[in-house]
Amino acid sequence: MILELLALFLALALLLPPIFTSLFQTNRLPPSPTALPIIGHFHLLGPLIHRAFHRLSARYGPLFSLRLGSVPCVVVSSPDMAREFLRTNELSFISHANSIAINRLTYGSSLAFAPYGAYWKFIKKLTMSELLGGRTVSGFASLRAQEYRRLLRLLDEKSQRGGEAVNLTEELPKLANNIISHMMLGTSGSNHDDDDGRVEEARIVVREVTKIFGELNLSDFVWFFRKLDLQGFGKRIEAIFTRFDALVEKVISEREQLRDRNHMNKDDDGDIDDMAEVKHFIDVLLDYVDNEDAEMKLTRVHIKALIMDFFTAGTDTTAISTEWALAELINHPEVLQKAREEIDRVVGKSRLVSESDGPDLPYIQAIIKETLRLHPPVPLVIRKCVKQCMVKEYVIPEDTTVFVNAWAIGRNPNYWESPLDFRPERFLQAEKEGNMGPVDVKGQHFQVLPFGSGRRICPGMNLAVQMLPALVGSIIQCFDLTVAAAGSLSMEERPGFTAPRLHDLVCVPVSRLGPLNSILA
């Protein structure tokens, strides 16, 4: 009897502490709705996940927890909580969460989704020094100006034909895609029809990629579904991968052939003949592939992953932000009028708005900031907990997926007056008050986070903040954009990793300055 009691006591001593610890930590998770067996909280979500999270935050607070299948998640919906995750405890949440679609379509080697470590640090440093740093971005200013003029010429042609409509939802990604293509890849040859067809194919693939990245695949969340393809995601992923891989393989092969020809055409002094092109980012990457002694050995797969990264991040997000800004200006003619008055005062009517005019156009800058506040191109900043962490009074377990709802944070009424109104003046007012300096969109002010924050902030931020004021400014400087629909344009969104408008922006451009031949020369 005594031995049995001792055995029972020993068993309780071994079993009870873990049980109590588990219960104690569970009680210290953020508040949560009631979950269903197996699927957890999937039934509370919808196609627009950031909006579903926003509705739940109104009931459960700025930090709440969910279980999506077998994956623990927390959702962050306030600037203060965002600061806790993205700055105070940044190293505990330094990695991005991945999915089956992301792993496959980024070749498991992208800058955006790679784990925080030696490879990520190397690629980030290389990217900022050779492609997206301030010096390099400024160096490609003339190239971007050429693409702005190309779009404006198209709008001018439509205008001169007596009110022919143009679909800006299709044309803006082409512009962004052309810019990224030239910055990263250079031109692949003299056949412009081939280049245009490739750009169009890339635009279509990029839109499909960002759409599937934003959809919830049950196989990512419910462990016993992982080898099943209940929603058909696997087939879609492979179809997109096949199309993109063929496209990028052709680009890399053409670049390799060009490099071989240039090497063979060197003259006796070692100078490359006038058929050679300047070195672009793809050349830098191919140099690392060829160099056996490089500090980081890169492969062809790494190059494909980075091309996917920059096309998806640089094309869709820039085009989406431009379209949202134009749609808001069409819906708010009084804001549009103020913007044009500023352009006429600073730039005049004899030349185009340029990127160098940006610092002298504070109202245009405020319009861009207000657009990014209401319509962040990537509405959810998604991170993964790499080390158990205490945030405030809550314990966040390792491997928890963290959703920072940038869309909801930008509309938080505790931080923004009349948060649903499009009022660029709020940013000018904040600058005048100057208590904490002007509110920016570069990750330092957590009430507006269109590019994220910290070490994993969007590397294309410099390019975006350089392009958007000049692109939007030059379009509204030259044209009135009239739409067929009566009343205000719809501000509904389409589901996906990014948040584009649901309906295409189809409008008739009407020239404000007469024929633009001289100004576009």
Residues at the annotated binding site for heme?
A: 458
* Exposure string over 113-147, b if 16+ CB within 10 A, otherwise e: bbebeeebebbbebbbebbbbeebbeeeeeebbeb
Which DSSP state fits 515?
-
The single residue listed with the structure tokens 């966040």 is 396
Q: Is 331 exposed, middle or buried (0-12, 13-18, 19+ CB in 10 A)?
A: middle
CB-hemisphere CA count at 13 Å for 210?
28
CA distance 521 to 486: 36
For residues 479 and 159, is the Cβ–Cβ distance under 8 A?
Answer: yes
In 3D space, the residue among 364, 294, 307 whose CA is nearest the CA of residue 122 turns out to be: 294
Annotated binding-site residues read 458
User: Cα 469 vs. chain centroid, distance in angstroms?
Assistant: 17
Identify whether the C-beta of residue 371 lies closer than 8 Å to the C-beta of residue 448: no
| The two three-digit tokens of residue 290, written as one number | 């060829």
| Sign of the torsion formed by the C-alpha atoms of 221, 227, 232 and 238 | positive
Residue of 345, 250, 313, 379 lying closest to 113 (CA atoms): 313
Number of Cβ atoms within 10 Å of the Cβ of 503? 14
Closest residue by Cα to residue 458 from 28, 53, 111: 111
Separation CA 374–CA 450 (nearest Å): 9
- For residue 406 the two structure tokens come to 């940038």
C-alpha closest to that of 48 among 405, 314, 441, 413: 405
DSSP state of 229: -
Phi, psi of 413 (to 5 degrees): -65, -15
- Secondary structure element (H or E) that encloses residue 283, with its range: helix 281-290
Residue 301: enclosing H or E segment and its boundaries?
helix 300-311
Beta partners for 479?
511
Positive or negative, the CA dihedral 354, 357, 361, 362 is: positive
Among 443, 452, 459, 456, smallest CA distance to 131 is for: 459
Of 417, 412, 387, 413, the C-alpha closest to 400 is 387
Between CA 25 and CA 394 the distance in angstroms is 8
| Total length of the chain | 521
Name the nearest CA neighbour of 262 among 246, 286, 245: 286
